[in-house]
């Protein structure tokens, strides 16, 4: 008898969720096997990459990360358009960094205005991330949800401390939520249940398990995501069968190893190459753990990850 | 007399005023509040006192030093009052152990000896032993030295008619050897009718004693009192810490013995039995309580790798510990399994008869330190889960131990969100007891006043949900309806504390059952022990995820299992041997070493549980309500 490779028995499937509206809407999820285990199941929608845009000129960014966007950093609309036109972004992630109460503390109205302008200028799905300050995010997202009614934005992070307020706004104005929990499978599941109890429908939710970059505990993120997928696919845990979104750019690029110049520490080598590789490698690790959407920054890193996805899924 | 500068809590304890101090005087719990009516104290103020309280002259006794003569009022909720007695409990404890032979380890034998003569000039002792051999066929006796001191006089005073008391201990004879009972006492005349012993449960919070009549195997009297150690801390860790202070162990030991003496005095008074007719003392307690009672070092119980001093303690002369009983009375302590699985659990297992049957059993003792046992007559595994004091009212804003005026039942109108409460003794409410808190949380969950994460839905149309000094809260009772003159509330912090306690118990259960590959539904019976356990509403306890979601008829209450076991072993030498065997057969699983435990714990920090499949009937009911 010929040898047969043992196969995992899958009993569950990740929900298919459509992000954005119109022709350029993106569907993610739908996996019926572990990531890239195409010999065991299907991955009907490839993982997607959303490119980061900031609502205010970023401070303390590594030179390498700033360089491609130097001409557009003070105009989020132009920045988003550049990502789409020059780098083929399929999604945009607008980081509302300027609303941080410990920073510029821009008001909700102003933030909503920026979101509205960006959303009207682009046709790809728009992820909008706040600062994880519960009071401020509540205020901002109430306004954002309202002025972008029906656009199916992806709003987050929605955490246990503000899920009711932001969740209600998302339900009312038809947006998808990013359920964010602090790197724990149970806490992640609990938030999904709470959002379900609140009335967020299953096709309007993606999970953010909280990730970190290489060298900063990425193995924990990997392990949690891996266990989420195991529960979802082999233990019929329907409260974990949601696509996973990973906000990885911010995490990798804020690390000292991504920012320090070669002049400052020659043994670290070329700063640009180092930053790009850190981002690309971190993203790859998360892909293998089950990421459906990666939020990334550097065009070169994105290119590397796209190639990796293509190779892993080549038939 | 109190010295200037003395700690007010210590002064109160020395004066015999009983003040609740769940943190042991560290200033962190805020339960020892007193009102300074006149005089002056020097106080370190903590965040446990609100501005309003501070202005009213309310202080934490433990944080205050006496500066002048004082008049102090102990707030109602800070007083240690009588615990609810077993007789007031809703359910009657069940004796589950069965088929045991009534043969107490303590026996009395009456002898009529012939006086010595020139022909028969055996020594007094040999004469006694010959009598025991001839009359009762007992030839392997050992004799306590104490008996020799009394022997000559007792024989002659009784005109060669004497009553001999013997005791067998649990040490199993080697194969082929006969058991060697010890002669521990001799009394002139026939005193067989006056044959008593004592059984005690030394709990961290309460001490419960029974006076037993050994000819007929009856309970003559029962009494319960707060463990005098309670003013030195709420849980075993606080006590161990206290015992490390200079003179601390001695203080704790004395406090326990004082409480035991009070209980004994009460037992003797109500039953009109003379102390000299008590021949034995059987004590079950957790490892820490046992070691403190014996005056032994407890430090290593709390340091990894958590070693108890001994698993089997030899019998000790009770009087040498300060217990007011005759010199011949020995105190026998139940063998312990591990640092956090003590003799009380072994005793509970014996009382519940788990070691006698093949029935797959889950045994849980719910208390400050929750212990669980899984198994049957062939094998047992056990673990201890540190649940914290929430079940006994600790760490809960208006938490009190089960006593009169404690809210124990709760219902809520799903439309108006108005509560209906019942208190113990029907008195005006003064706080919430552990079982009350379970009922309240289950009620609030089902009425959708709180979410599955235990947080209030803040926008509901009721003035009972409001923001208080500890975050959001629900008013159970308005100030004017209470004994304490303040609104009685349940806060999100309280709910959180109870959720942690129940999560620790349930995660322990899951981890332990998984370690032996058993599914929840396979358990044929769930035995619940612990004085608190008796008042639990099973369905509500399942609703919040404390007890596994099994049919209600599989749950059995044994009440104070530790006391039950202590009583039964006082009646049966066989069970005494069983206790030794059970302590040896139990495998302790250290949950703090288990990677699964933390995962299960976080999963259990949800109402009823993160995995709805663990609680199918509750999940179904909650889903129905939400529709």
Q: How far is B544 from chain A (nearest CA, A)?
A: 15
Scanning every residue of chain A, which has its alpha carbon at the shortest distance from the alpha carbon of B456? A164
Segment A84-111 shows an average pLDDT of 97
B224 — pLDDT class (breaks 50, 70, 90): confident
B427-452 burial code (b ≥16 CB/10 A, e <16): eebbbbbbbbbbbbbbbbbbbebbbb
Decide: residue A263, CB within 10 A, 0-12 exposed, 13-18 middle, 19+ buried.
exposed
Q: Which residue of B has its CA nearest to A224?
A: B599
How does DSSP assign B471-518, residue by residue? Answer: EEEEEEE-GGGSSSSS-EEEEHHHHHHHHHHHHHHHHHHHHHHHHTT-
pLDDT at B453: 95
- Has residue B314 got a pLDDT over 80? yes
**Taking CB atoms and an 8 Å limit, are A197 and B451 in contact across chains?**
yes
- At the second CATH level, the architecture of B195-333 is 2-Layer Sandwich (3.30)
Mind telling me how many Å the CA of A97 is from chain B's nearest CA?
A: 29
For chain A, what percent of residues have pLDDT higher than 70?
100
Q: For B323-335, how does the pLDDT look when each residue is reduced to its tens digit (9 = 90+)? A: 999 999 999 999 9
Tell me, yes or no, whether A278 lies in a domain: yes
Q: How are beta strands B369-375 and B361-365 bridged, if at all? A: antiparallel
Residue B352, pLDDT > 70, answer: yes
- From the list B191, B110, B112, B108, the residue with the least C-alpha distance to B159 is B112
Rounded to two decimals, what is the model's pTM?
A: 0.84
Crossing angle between the packed helical segments A299-313 and A271-289, to the nearest 10 degrees: 40
Chain A environment of B605 (Cβ under 8 Å): 186, 190
A154 in any annotated domain:
yes
Q: Specify the fold of B8-78.
A: Ubiquitin-like (UB roll) (3.10.20)
pLDDT in tens, B31-46: 788 888 888 888 888 8
Q: Which of residues 409-468 of B touch A (CB under 8 A)?
A: 451-453, 457
Give the pLDDT band (50/70/90) at residue B344. Answer: very high
CA–CA distance from B363 to each of B372, B384, B400, B526 (Å)?
6, 12, 26, 6
How distant is the Cα of B547 from the closest Cα of chain A, in angstroms? Answer: 19
Q: Categorize the per-residue pLDDT at B530 as very low, low, confident or very high, splitting at 50, 70 and 90.
A: confident
Residue that is written with structure tokens 């037993």 in the block:
B212
What residue segments make up the domains of chain B, in order of their start? 8-78, 106-188, 195-333, 353-398+438-627
CA B298 to centroid of chain Cα atoms:
18
Determine the Cα–Cα distance for residues A284 and A306; give it in Å rounded to an integer: 10
Of A164, A186, A237, the CB nearest to B602: A186
Helix (H), strand (E) at residue B292: helix B287-293
Contact B626 A197 (CB under 8 A): yes
Domain B106-188 class, CATH top level: alpha beta
Phi, psi of B301 (to 5 degrees): -65, -35
Q: What's the pLDDT at B213?
A: 95
Interface of A with B (CB under 8 A): 160, 164, 184-187, 189-190, 193-194, 197, 237, 239
Task: Kindly give, in sequence order, each residue whose CB lies less than 8 Å from that of residue A164, ignoring residues fewer than 6 positions away.
Answer: A198, B457
pLDDT at B27: 74
Cα angle vertex A21, ends A16, A24, to 5°?
85
Q: How many domains does chain A contain in total?
A: 1
- pLDDT tens, B193-217? 999 999 999 988 889 999 999 999 9
Q: Locate B315 and state its tokens.
A: 């019998």
* Token pair recorded at residue A208: 């953010």
**Which pLDDT belongs to residue B478?**
97
Q: Does any domain span residue A208?
A: yes
Cβ separation B451–A194 shorter than 8 A: yes
Distance (Å, rounded) from C-alpha A281 to C-alpha A300? 12
Quote the domain boundaries for residue A253: 17-313
pLDDT number for residue B9: 78
Specify the pLDDT at position B235: 82
pLDDT in tens, B45-98: 887 788 888 888 888 888 888 888 888 888 776 766 554 443 334 444 456 677
Burial class (CB in 10 A: 0-12, 13-18, 19+), A262: middle
B618 in contact with A, Cβ within 8 Å: no
Can you give the pLDDT at residue B83?
47
Residue of B nearest to A239 (CA): B611
Cβ contact, residue pair A190, B451, below 8 Å? no
Contact A213, A301 (CB under 8 A): no
Establish, for the pair of chains A and B, how many residue pairs have beta carbons separated by less than 8 Å. Answer: 31
pLDDT tens-digit map of B86-96? 333 444 445 66
Residue A66 confidence (pLDDT):
96
Chain A hits for B457, Cβ within 8 Å: 164
Find chain B residues with C-beta within 8 A of A164's C-beta: 457
| Residue carrying the six token digits 């103020």 | B45
A18 Cβ contact partners less than 8 Å away, ≥ 6 residues apart: A25, A26, A27, A152, A203
Domain with residue A88: its CATH number is 3.20.20.20
Asked if the C-beta of B602 comes within 8 angstroms of chain A's C-beta atoms, the answer is yes
Average confidence (pLDDT) over B603-616? 95
Interchain proximity A197–B603, CB inside 8 Å: no
Who among B453, B602, B626 is closest to A194 (CB)? Answer: B453
Cβ burial of B621 (10 Å; 0-12, 13-18, 19+) is middle
Q: Give dist(CA A169, CA A179) in Å, integer.
A: 14
Is there a domain that residue A5 lies in?
no
Write the pLDDT tens digit of every residue in A228-261: 999 999 999 999 999 999 999 999 999 999 999 9
Percent of chain B with pLDDT over 70: 93
Distance CA B495, CA B490 (A): 7
Residue ranges of E strands in B330-378: 330-333, 361-365, 369-375
Question: B507 touching A, CB under 8 A?
Answer: no
* Minimum distance, in Å, between the CA of residue B456 and any CA atom of chain A: 11
Q: Which residues contact B134 (CB under 8 A, 6 or more apart)?
A: none
Q: Looking at chain B, which residue has its C-alpha nearest residue A186?
A: B603
Asked whether this chain's domains B8-78 and B106-188 adopt the same fold, the reply is: yes
At B355 the pLDDT is: 93
- What local confidence, expressed as pLDDT, does residue B90 receive? 40
**Which residues from chain A sit within 8 angstroms of residue B626, using beta carbons?**
197
Pairing of strands B278-285, B330-333: parallel
- Residue B520 has a CB neighbour count (10 Å cut-off) of 17
- CA A291, CA B111: separation in Å to the nearest integer? 87
pLDDT on residue B23: 64
Distance, in Å, from the CA atom of B449 to the CA atom of B474, rounded to the nearest integer, reads 9
Residue with tokens 């162990």, as numbered in its chain: B249
Both tokens assigned to B76: 């109602």
The residue in chain A having the minimum alpha-carbon distance to the alpha carbon of residue B458 is: A164
Mean pLDDT of B168-197: 83
Chain centroid offset of residue A37 CA: 22
Q: pLDDT tens across B239-277, in order?
A: 999 999 999 999 999 999 999 999 999 999 999 999 999
Is B610 in the A-facing interface, judged by CB distances under 8 Å?
A: yes
B606 → closest Cβ in A164, A190, A237? A190
ipTM of the complex: 0.86
B599 touches chain A (CB under 8 A): yes
Chain B residue whose CA is closest to A191: B453
- The residue of chain B nearest to residue A198, with distances taken between CA atoms, is B451
Q: Which of B18-22, B34-38, B236-240 tops mean pLDDT?
A: B236-240
Q: Cα separation of A283 and A286, whole Å?
A: 5
Computed over every residue of chain B, the mean pLDDT equals 89
Helices (H), chain A: 63-66, 76-87, 108-121, 134-147, 163-172, 185-198, 218-234, 248-253, 256-259, 271-289, 299-313
CATH number for domain B353-398+438-627, candidates 3.30.300, 3.30.420, 2.60.40, 3.30.750: 3.30.420
**Contact assignment for A194 to B610 by CB distance below 8 Å:** no
Q: Which two three-digit tokens encode residue B177?
A: 């050897």
Lowest mean pLDDT among A97-111, A202-216, B396-410, B435-449: B396-410
Chain A: residue nearest B625 by CA?
A197
Q: Do B606 and A186 touch (CB under 8 A)?
A: yes
């Amino acid at each position: 008898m010929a040898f047969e490779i043992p196969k995992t028995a899958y009993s569950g499937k990740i929900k298919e969720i459509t992000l954005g509206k119109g022709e350029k809407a993106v569907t993610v999820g739908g996996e019926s096997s572990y990531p890239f285990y195409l010999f065991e199941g299907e991955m009907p929608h490839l993982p997607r990459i959303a490119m980061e845009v900031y609502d205010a000129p970023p401070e303390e960014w590594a030179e390498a990360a700033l360089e491609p966007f130097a001409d557009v950093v003070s105009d989020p609309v132009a920045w988003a358009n550049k990502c789409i036109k020059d780098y083929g972004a399929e999604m945009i992630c607008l980081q509302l960094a300027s609303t941080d109460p410990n920073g510029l503390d821009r008001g909700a109205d102003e933030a909503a205005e920026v979101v509205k302008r960006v959303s009207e200028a682009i046709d790809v799905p728009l992820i909008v991330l706040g600062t994880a300050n519960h009071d401020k995010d509540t205020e901002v997202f109430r306004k954002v949800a309202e002025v972008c009614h029906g656009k199916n934005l992806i709003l987050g992070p929605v955490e246990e401390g503000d899920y009711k307020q932001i969740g209600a706004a998302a339900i009312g104005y038809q947006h998808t939520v990013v359920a964010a929990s602090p790197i724990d499978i149970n806490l992640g599941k609990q938030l999904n249940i709470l959002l379900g109890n609140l009335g967020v429908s299953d096709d309007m939710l993606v999970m953010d398990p909280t990730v970190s970059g290489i060298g900063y505990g990425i193995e924990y993120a990997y392990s949690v995501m891996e266990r989420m997928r195991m529960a979802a696919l082999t233990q019929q845990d329907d409260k974990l069968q949601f696509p996973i979104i990973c906000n990885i750019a911010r995490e990798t690029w804020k690390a000292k190893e991504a920012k320090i110049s070669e002049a400052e520490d020659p043994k670290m080598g070329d700063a640009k190459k180092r930053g790009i590789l850190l981002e690309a490698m971190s993203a790859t690790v998360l892909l293998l753990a089950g990421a459906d959407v990666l939020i990334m920054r550097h065009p070169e890193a994105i290119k590397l990850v796209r190639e990796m996805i293509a190779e892993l899924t080549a038939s | 007399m109190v010295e200037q500068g003395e700690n007010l809590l210590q002064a109160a304890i020395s004066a015999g005023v009983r003040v609740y101090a769940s943190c042991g005087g560290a200033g962190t719990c805020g339960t020892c509040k007193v009102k300074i009516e006149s005089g002056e104290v020097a106080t370190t103020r903590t965040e446990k006192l609100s501005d309003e309280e501070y202005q009213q002259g309310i202080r934490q006794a433990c944080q205050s030093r006496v500066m002048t003569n004082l008049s102090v009022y102990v707030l109602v909720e800070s007083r240690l009052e009588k615990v609810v007695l077993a007789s007031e409990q809703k359910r009657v404890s069940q004796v589950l152990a069965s088929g045991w032979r009534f043969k107490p380890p303590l026996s009395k034998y009456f002898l009529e000896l012939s006086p010595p003569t020139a022909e028969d000039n055996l020594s007094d002792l040999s004469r006694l032993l010959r009598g025991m051999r001839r009359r009762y066929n007992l030839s392997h006796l050992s004799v306590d030295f104490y008996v020799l001191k009394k022997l000559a006089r007792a024989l002659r005073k009784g005109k060669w008619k004497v009553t001999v008391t013997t005791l067998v201990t649990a040490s199993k004879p080697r194969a082929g050897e006969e058991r060697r009972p010890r002669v521990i006492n001799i009394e002139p005349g026939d005193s067989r009718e006056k044959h008593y012993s004592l059984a005690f449960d030394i709990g961290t919070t309460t001490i419960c004693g029974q006076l037993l009549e050994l000819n007929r195997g009856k309970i003559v009297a029962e009494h319960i009192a707060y463990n005098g150690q309670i003013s030195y801390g709420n849980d075993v860790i606080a006590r161990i810490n206290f015992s490390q202070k200079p003179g601390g162990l001695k203080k704790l030991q004395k406090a326990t013995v004082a409480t035991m003496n009070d209980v004994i005095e009460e037992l003797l008074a109500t039953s009109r039995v003379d102390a000299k007719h008590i021949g034995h003392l059987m004590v079950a307690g957790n490892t820490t309580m046992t070691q403190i009672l014996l005056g032994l070092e407890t430090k290593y119980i709390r340091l990894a790798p958590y070693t108890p001093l001994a698993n089997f303690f030899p019998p000790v002369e009770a009087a040498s510990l300060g217990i007011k009983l005759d010199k011949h009375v020995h105190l026998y302590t139940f063998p312990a399994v591990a640092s956090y699985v003590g003799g009380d659990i072994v005793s509970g297992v014996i009382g519940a008869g788990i070691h006698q049957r093949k029935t797959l059993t889950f045994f849980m003792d719910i208390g400050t330190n929750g212990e669980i046992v899984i198994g049957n007559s062939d094998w047992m595994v056990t673990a201890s889960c540190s649940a914290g004091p929430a079940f006994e009212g600790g760490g809960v804003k208006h938490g009190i131990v089960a006593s009169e005026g404690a809210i124990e039942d709760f219902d809520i109108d799903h439309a108006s969100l108005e509560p209906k409460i019942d208190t113990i003794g029907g008195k005006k409410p003064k706080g919430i007891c552990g079982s009350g808190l379970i009922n309240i949380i289950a009620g609030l969950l089902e009425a959708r006043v709180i979410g599955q994460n235990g947080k209030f839905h803040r926008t509901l149309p009721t003035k009972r949900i409001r923001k208080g000094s500890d975050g959001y809260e629900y008013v159970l009772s308005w100030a004017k309806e209470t004994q304490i003159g303040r609104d009685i509330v349940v806060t999100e912090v309280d709910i959180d504390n109870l959720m942690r306690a129940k999560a620790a118990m349930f995660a322990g259960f899951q981890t332990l059952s998984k370690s032996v590959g058993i599914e929840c539904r396979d358990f044929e019976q769930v035995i619940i022990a612990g004085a608190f356990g008796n008042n639990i509403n099973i369905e509500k306890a399942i609703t919040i995820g404390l007890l596994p979601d099994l049919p209600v008829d599989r749950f059995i209450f044994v009440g104070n299992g530790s006391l039950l076991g202590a009583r039964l072993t006082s009646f049966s030498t066989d069970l005494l041997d069983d206790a030794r065997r059970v302590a040896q057969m139990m495998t302790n699983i250290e949950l703090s070493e288990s990677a699964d435990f933390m995962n299960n714990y976080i999963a259990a920090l949800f109402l009823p549980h993160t995995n709805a499949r663990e609680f199918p009937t509750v999940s179904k009911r909650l889903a129905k309500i939400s529709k």
